């Protein structure tokens, strides 16, 4: 029978993937790649950029094209059988890539090209491939002794398995909890759309009444609207103790030991490479030059934000006492009271806005916005093999009708789907058999699903999430860089990778943008002027508190990876408590085990890099300020952003590309202004 994972001439055939063949297929590709690389290196004593990179691109592409749909399905349609096969492959893939980056012969081949006359004839992108590779060799211990290489490889392999287990524990803990309600009185305060969503969830499980889960749309709705304080507390406790020894799961999916092992392994990796700590190792290939630069940047933002945040929280506490009869505000009251206060001060609520944001209108409006900015058009392609009935597939074309990229859009929360929102690479751009292989993206969210036959109604936060992920997707899909290793988001410094995504969020706040993405579900009316004014006035509601929350996460992450094995370090929890005491204005209860579900740093790519969100937000706010000066749909400025940022991938340093677009180095002023903190 044909093996769907080996067919790289078409899009992935998700429904034809035989789970039982996954491990054997991936292992086979790895073995073939190792043999091909060894044969290539043994049969050459002089290397050219073209022959070396083409060989490596072919190998990397064959493996990533097979693994990408497997990894993706494990995140969006998780099953026990798939998970077992996925987890068999993870350490093998880690070992393969570590071996590649420690291969002395391969390192010599790159180094020979770097020293050759040919190097001077290469363009920026091709030179960047060489420079990035040489740095990667260094960061993966190519110069280590054989004994230390073995140690390094084992640590990397262990880490890959630990990270996968961490993420699975979070998913399992999220899926394991729900609250089934049969008495309507317990739904007090919840809007109709939340009640309808919970009723549909119960019906899907063949239950009477209403079912509430820890999936984002359900959890956030309860925390924002429920008048039943005990209900909010129960949901909060379950959510903030996910994958920990506390809470309703009784330690069943506990990540405590896994977190220790993950950070410990990272510190060992750093020490083997003669770095003081993992944070120092982490920034070796980022825009930030020193760990002090990162901490100074974050602490400066804390200093600018905390006085206002204290005032915001004092206002919230006073309102809670006076209007909500909550004498002592607790963590599970904050979202609820904040929504009440926001309605009082600005006369606007997410519930009031939702009818104006039907998902189909938001999507069509998003496509119109990027059409005006970048002269591209997006159309849906039918009859594509997909993994779930809600998934749609689209194609991006330029003004001449040339296809630039394609993407899958999987918008809604459901069972057996990892929480959060993300863009991932399905296929990367490269020249393959003398033809350009077009980039394809996965755009995945966990937004509020449709209820019954009506389209999904999104809140404004969900709309900005969609725009954010689409920004990532544009950088992947609109790249014009052909070398695989610097096309799209590849080779982009991690603390700059959030620039295109945060940049796209700005159009969710602009009147001209909102007119394109709103249409009342019943009347078809665009967002009226009075609601628009209220939305803008409320934009920076509690902005300092929100800023501090992100800074708390960033400082905790960075210090954890700096201090884990120092004499002063006591425990992960004690460090988080210390950071909160210095940074936060809302101190959560002792039961809160947020870190046990902090997938960004323990399972994702943001270890000692969560600060990247704020670092890149400086870039994105400053980049958007040029549109504010020239016009938010100014075609010339859109063309400049397209050519300087989106099309260039990782072919040049991010700071150089930013300066080319903005005409100067980035300034923090626009971020402070946009956040209402000046």
The tokens 């929890």 sit on which residue?
573
Q: Which of 75, 64, 127 has its CA nearest to residue 100?
A: 64
Q: What CA–CA distances, in Å, run from 604 to 153, 162, 414, 426, 478?
A: 19, 11, 21, 17, 24
Per DSSP, the residues of 270-331 read HHHTT-SSHHHHHGGGSS---HHHHHHHHHHHHHHHHHHHHHHHHHHHHHHHHHS--SS--G
Question: What letter does residue 603 receive in the DSSP assignment?
Answer: T
For 648-664, letters b (16+ CB in 10 Å) and e give: bbbbbbbeebbeebbee
Phi then psi dihedrals of residue 401, to 5 deg = 90, 5
Q: Which of 159, 55, 161 has its CA nearest to residue 100?
A: 55
For residue 319 the two structure tokens come to 């309102």
- Compute the distance between CA of residue 154 and CA of residue 587 in angstroms, rounded to an integer: 39
- Compute the distance between CA of residue 333 and CA of residue 470 in angstroms, rounded to an integer: 32
Question: What letter does residue 226 receive in the DSSP assignment?
Answer: -
Q: Rounded to a whole number, what is the distance in angstroms from the first to the last CA of the chain? A: 64
Q: Which of 314, 309, 316, 308 has its CA nearest to residue 344?
A: 316
- Compute the distance between CA of residue 398 and CA of residue 658 in angstroms, rounded to an integer: 24
Say if residues 677 and 547 touch (Cβ distance below 8 Å). yes
- Compute the distance between CA of residue 439 and CA of residue 472 in angstroms, rounded to an integer: 13
Q: Of 312, 425, 462, 469, which residue is the catalytic one?
A: 469
Phi then psi dihedrals of residue 409, to 5 deg = -120, 115
Does residue 312 carry a catalytic annotation? no
CA Rg value for the chain: 25
Catalytic residues: 469
């Amino acid at each position: 029978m044909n093996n769907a994972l080996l067919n790289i001439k078409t899009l992935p055939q998700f429904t034809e993937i035989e789970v039982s063949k996954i491990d054997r297929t991936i292992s086979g590709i790895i073995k073939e790649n190792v043999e091909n690389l060894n044969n290539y290196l043994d049969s050459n004593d002089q290397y050219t950029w073209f022959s070396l990179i083409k060989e490596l691109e072919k190998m990397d592409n064959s493996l990533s094209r097979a693994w990408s749909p497997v990894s993706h399905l494990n995140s969006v349609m998780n099953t026990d059988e798939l998970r077992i096969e996925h987890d068999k492959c993870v350490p093998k893939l880690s070992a393969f890539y570590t071996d590649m980056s420690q291969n002395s012969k391969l390192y010599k081949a790159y180094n020979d090209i770097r020293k050759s006359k040919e190097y001077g004839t290469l363009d920026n992108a091709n030179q960047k491939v060489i420079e990035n590779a040489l740095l990667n060799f260094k960061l993966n211990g190519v110069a280590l002794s054989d004994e230390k290489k073995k140690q390094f490889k084992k640590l990397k392999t262990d880490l890959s398995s630990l990270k996968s287990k961490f993420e699975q524990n979070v998913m399992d803990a999220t899926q394991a909890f729900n609250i089934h309600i049969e008495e309507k009185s317990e739904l007090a305060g919840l809007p109709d759309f939340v009640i309808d969503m919970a009723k549909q969830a119960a019906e899907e499980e063949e239950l009477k009444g209403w079912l509430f889960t820890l999936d984002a749309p359900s959890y956030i709705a309860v925390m924002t609207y429920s008048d039943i304080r005990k209900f909010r507390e129960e949901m909060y406790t379950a959510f903030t103790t996910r994958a920990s020894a506390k809470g309703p799961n009784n330690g069943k999916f506990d990540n405590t030991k896994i977190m220790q092992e993950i950070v410990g392994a990272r510190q060992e990796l750093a020490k083997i490479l003669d770095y003081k700590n993992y944070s120092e190792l982490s920034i070796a290939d980022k825009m930030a030059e020193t760990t002090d630069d990162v901490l100074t940047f974050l602490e400066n933002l804390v200093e600018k934000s905390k006085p206002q945040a204290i005032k915001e929280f004092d206002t919230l506490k006073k309102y809670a006492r006076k209007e909500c009869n909550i004498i002592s505000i607790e963590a599970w009251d904050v979202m609820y009271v904040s929504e009440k206060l926001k309605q009082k001060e600005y006369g606007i609520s997410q519930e009031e806005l939702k009818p104006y944001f039907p998902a189909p209108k938001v999507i069509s409006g998003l496509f119109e916005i990027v059409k005006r900015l970048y002269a591209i058009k997006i159309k849906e392609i039918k009859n594509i093999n997909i993994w779930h009935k809600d998934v749609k597939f689209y194609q991006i074309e330029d003004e001449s009708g040339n296809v630039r990229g394609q993407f899958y859009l999987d918008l809604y929360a459901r069972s057996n789907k990892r929480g959060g929102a993300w863009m991932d690479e399905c296929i990367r751009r490269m020249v393959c058999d003398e033809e350009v292989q077009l980039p394809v993206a996965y755009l995945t969210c966990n937004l509020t699903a449709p209820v019954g036959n009506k389209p999904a109604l999104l809140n404004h936060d969900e709309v900005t999430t969609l725009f954010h992920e689409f920004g990532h997707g544009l950088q992947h899909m609109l790249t014009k860089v052909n070398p695989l290793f610097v096309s799209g988001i590849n080779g982009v410094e991690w603390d700059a990778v959030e620039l295109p995504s945060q940049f796209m969020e700005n159009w969710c706040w602009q009147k001209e943008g909102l007119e394109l993405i709103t249409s009342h579900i019943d009347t078809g009316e665009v967002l009226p002027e009075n609601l628009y004014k209220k939305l803008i006035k409320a934009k920076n509601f509690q902005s300092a508190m929100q800023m501090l929350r992100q800074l708390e996460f960033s400082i905790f992450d960075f210090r954890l990876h700096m201090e884990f094995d120092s004499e002063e370090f006591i425990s992960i929890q004690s460090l988080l408590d210390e950071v909160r005491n210095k940074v936060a204005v809302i101190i959560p209860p002792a039961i809160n085990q947020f870190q046990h579900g902090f997938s960004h740093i323990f399972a994702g790519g943001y270890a000692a890099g969560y600060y990247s969100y704020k670092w890149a937000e400086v870039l994105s706010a400053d980049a958007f300020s040029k549109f504010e000066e020239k016009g938010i749909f100014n075609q010339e400025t859109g063309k400049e952003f397209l050519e300087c940022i989106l099309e260039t991938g990782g072919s040049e340093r991010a700071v150089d590309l930013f300066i080319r677009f903005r005409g100067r180095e980035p300034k923090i002023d626009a971020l402070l202004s946009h956040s209402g903190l000046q």
